[in-house]
Amino acid sequence: MNLAHLLHRAAKIWGERPALSVGRAVRLSYAEMGQRVPRLAAGLVAAGKLQRGDRVALLLKNCPEYWELMFALWHAGIAAVPVNAKLHAREVAWIIENAEAKLAVVSAALADDLARLTKDIPGLHGLIVLETPAYTALYDAAATPMAEVTPDDLAWLFYTSGTTGRPKGAMLTHRNLWAAVMNYFADVDHIDPQDCIIHCAPISHGSGLYGLPHVARGANQVIPESGGFDPAETLDLIAHWPGCSFFFAPTMVHRLIHAPQIAGADTANLKTIVYGGGPMYVADLQEAMRVLGPKLAQIYGQGEAPMTITGMDKRMHVDYGHPRYLARLGSAGTVRTDVEVRVVDADDNPLPNGEVGEVICRGPVVMAGYWRNPDATAQALRGGWLHTGDVGSFDDDGFLTLKDRSKDMIISGGSNIYPREVEEVLLRHPDVDEVSVVGKPHADWGEEVIAFVVARRGAAPTAAALDALCLDHIARFKRPKQYRFVPALPKNNYGKVLKTELRAVLQKEA
């Protein structure tokens, strides 16, 4: 079934409800959006000489047009290729060429550079710039019927963040995205038509994926006027819109709860913050629940299994009486409803509870493969299971605790050291704001543990104090051999710390 059905059903049932809003102002109702999308679909097909199964790249800052474009493409049987608008124009051009996109819709800010870089890409029929007469004219076409698609037709070509090498395009089908939508209702949260999702994180990634179940229930999609995440603006929107949900990276939660404006802010309308995309440290999570209340839910997933491997709902977060409450709070939750998850050894043999290995999963949400990359597909999906590259273990109650990415594990003197365990301890210090632990090459031990530490504003933690904290909580061999105090940690456009850059600094020194 075509994903565009989500919108057309919402337009029939909740036509008068707000569909798209910017800031505090409603832009379109569901009835209006339902009428515009079939016309936009026809306009795009004509402009790009598109046929069913073609790809169209979307290089846009968060905006209401994003949603009209994605549903118009699905309505026409075309796959969307949402691209992070913060990427360099050369990176975007590479994605457009790799995806073999026939058309690209772009924001004005990137249009000139992108036009220069894409003019010789074979098969690209042109760029359409948002808020120009050429874009507005797309809506003048006669409405076209919704295309028939198969469950295995490509819907969303999801390019990974590419922290190591070129990004890969995870092929997400209509079946994959339907599974992700239904799993949201099964495991994450209930949505009412009076609710909204506020898109502070990029629609091109997690926030866009979680916008889909909100369309399915006729809820409002709210775009901040800034198009992104600003804590003061976010708090203002929470005070205005009822039933607010968000998808946040853990670093965004951290910034929100430490924003000066949080003191005295009206957060009564806040319904749910779903966090994921990186480690959420227990200290930050406890502080977030103290400041915001029991309104946090966790998901663990990847672009290859969008938003859906394990999770921890709001009730699990406040099960204070459980004897292993803190251990659960530091976990990635339990297996989601429609996936199977295992922890396996190097030969893909399942490991018993408590033993650490690679996390693998399978189910209807797992991608069809990597676009035009059969070798990477065969490696990632060997045996019919998605190999995540993450390392973790299950406990006897079915909670999965992630140790780290396999590439981030430190091996010192033959012992495995998981950076997250050390980071969790260091974040207990009241003067530490952020920390990232990586391995530095060492002639005798293989690697040694180095901690990059960002102090809280006005504070000055000492290496001696941090060393004493570690010795109180973890084995001596795990403690950092050196603490480097830095003003900030390098991050990608989604807020993930780039440990590759930290390791590169250390490797140069070594």
- What's the distance, Cα to Cα, between the start and end of the chain in Å? 55
- Band of pLDDT at residue 496, cut at 50, 70 and 90: confident
> pTM for the full model?
0.85
- What is residue 494's predicted lDDT score, i.e. its pLDDT? 63
Tokens of 375: 């070798």
CA distance linking residue 307 with residue 185, whole number of Å:
13
> 317-348: per-residue pLDDT in tens?
999 999 999 999 999 999 999 999 999 999 99
- What is residue 468's predicted lDDT score, i.e. its pLDDT? 92
Is pLDDT of 409 > 80?
no
Is pLDDT of 415 > 70?
no
Count CB-CB contacts under 10 A for residue 458. Answer: 6
- What is residue 163's predicted lDDT score, i.e. its pLDDT? 45
> 441-484: per-residue pLDDT in tens?
887 677 889 999 999 989 999 999 999 999 888 878 889 999 99
Our CA dihedral for 175, 185, 296, 334, rounded to 10 degrees, sits at -70
Mean pLDDT across 136-142:
97
CA distance linking residue 315 with residue 189, whole number of Å:
11
- Band of pLDDT at residue 145, cut at 50, 70 and 90: very high
DSSP label at residue 187: I
Asked if 455 contacts 487 with a C-beta cutoff of 8 angstroms, the reply is: no
Pick 21 or 495 by higher pLDDT. 21
Buried b (16+ CB within 10 A) or exposed e, 235-266: bbbbebbebbbbbbbbbbbbbbbbbeebeebe
Asked if 23 contacts 76 with a C-beta cutoff of 8 angstroms, the reply is: no
pLDDT > 90 in the chain, percent: 75
> 151-204: per-residue pLDDT in tens?
999 999 999 865 445 789 999 999 999 999 999 999 999 999 999 999 999 999
- What is residue 413's predicted lDDT score, i.e. its pLDDT? 65
- Domains along the sequence of the chain with CATH: 4-394 (3.40.50.12780), 415-509 (3.30.300.30)
